[in-house]
Amino acid sequence: MKPTNSSPFQLPALPWQENALEPVISARTIGLHYGKHHATYVKKLNELVAGTRYAELPLEQVIAATAGNAETAKIFNNAAQTWNHTFFWDCLRPGGGGQPPRELARTLEQSFGDYSRFKEKFAQAAVDQFGSGWAWLVARGGKLEVISTSNAQTPITMGATPLLTMASRTSQVSSSVARQFKASTLRPSRRKLIPLPNSKRWMLRPPLTSRRAFRRCKRRRRP
Ligand SMILES: [Fe+2]
């Protein structure tokens, strides 16, 4: 379905079937978070922006324009959760997990010691996030970091480029974080490594949804 004046934001299709991640994440869980939560965020966002200047903006700009303002908090929450969920689906794939490709492993080693420590830190960030939220692998200031955010907060308002996310234990999945990690992927076959700005280090090319944020970050870092 194409965006219209009354519904400028659309629920994107899942990149796989709802049952494709079983037995790691059930079709029921995906159905709940995609068909109920994600779809509701998109629907509410369209209702909230109807007739406002936000209806003319891309999703990322709506998020940037409404962040940190109590008057636009509802729009921000629905826009940011729409973005976070879309990004999350793109971080999962059937048969994912396993060891990262060599260059990525080296980058993770430089930032975290080794891949298993990154994995531990990433999973722990999701477990430690109290209530609803997300754990993220992000690029910021030429470095890779693991951070967590609560509710609708999103790294794209924090000067960070998200590379991978996992929902915190209470918001997304009924199965354990470790099982969820098994379904996540760094998409080595489809996402190329690209150089970090002003650095000899490399990172994974961000998914489509965050490329604009990455370009902005790269532009800012140019002397
Ligand atoms: Fe959800």
CATH number at residue 43: 1.10.287.990
Question: How far is ligand 1, taken at its centre, from the CA of residue 59, in Å?
Answer: 18
* pLDDT of res. 203: 53
CATH number at residue 185: 3.55.40
Q: Say if residue 155 is in the same domain as residue 206.
A: yes
* pLDDT of res. 130: 80
CA 63 vs. chain centroid, Å, equals: 14
Q: Say if residue 144 is in the same domain as residue 210.
A: yes
Q: Say if residue 74 is in the same domain as residue 109.
A: no
Residue 136, domain member (yes or no): yes
Question: How far is ligand 1, taken at its centre, from the CA of residue 172, in Å?
Answer: 5
DSSP 28-52: HHHIIIIIIIIHHHHHHHHHHHTTS
Residue 18, domain member (yes or no): no
Q: Say if residue 135 is in the same domain as residue 83.
A: no
pLDDT: which is higher, 98 or 62 = 62
Token output for 51: 């007739």
Q: What is the rounded average pLDDT of the residues 173-177?
A: 45
Q: Say if residue 33 is in the same domain as residue 54.
A: yes
Residues in the 5 Å CB sphere of ion ligand 1 = 33, 37
The residue out of 68, 90, 112 marking a domain boundary is 90
Residue 7, domain member (yes or no): no
Q: Say if residue 110 is in the same domain as residue 205.
A: yes
Does residue 201 surpass a pLDDT of 80?
no
Does residue 176 surpass a pLDDT of 50?
no
Q: Say if residue 123 is in the same domain as residue 203.
A: yes
Q: Say if residue 78 is in the same domain as residue 124.
A: no
The residue out of 57, 90, 123 marking a domain boundary is 90
* pLDDT of res. 181: 59
Q: Say if residue 114 is in the same domain as residue 191.
A: yes
Q: Say if residue 209 is in the same domain as residue 139.
A: yes
pLDDT by residue (tens digit) across 55-83?
A: 999 999 999 999 999 999 999 999 999 99
Question: How far is ligand 1, taken at its centre, from the CA of residue 201, in Å?
Answer: 34
pLDDT band at 173 (very low <50, low <70, confident <90, very high): very low
Q: Say if residue 111 is in the same domain as residue 54.
A: no
pLDDT: which is higher, 123 or 72 = 72
Axis-axis angle for helices 115-128, 102-112 (nearest 10): 60
CA 99 vs. chain centroid, Å, equals: 21
Q: What is the rounded average pLDDT of the residues 30-48?
A: 95
Question: How far is ligand 1, taken at its centre, from the CA of residue 115, in Å?
Answer: 28
Identify the domain containing residue 121 by its residue range. Answer: 102-221
Number of separate domains in the chain? 2
Give pTM, 2 decimals.
0.77
Question: How far is ligand 1, taken at its centre, from the CA of residue 54, in Å?
Answer: 23
pLDDT: which is higher, 4 or 126 = 126
Q: Say if residue 202 is in the same domain as residue 141.
A: yes
Of 58-67, 165-174, 193-202, the poorest mean pLDDT is in: 193-202
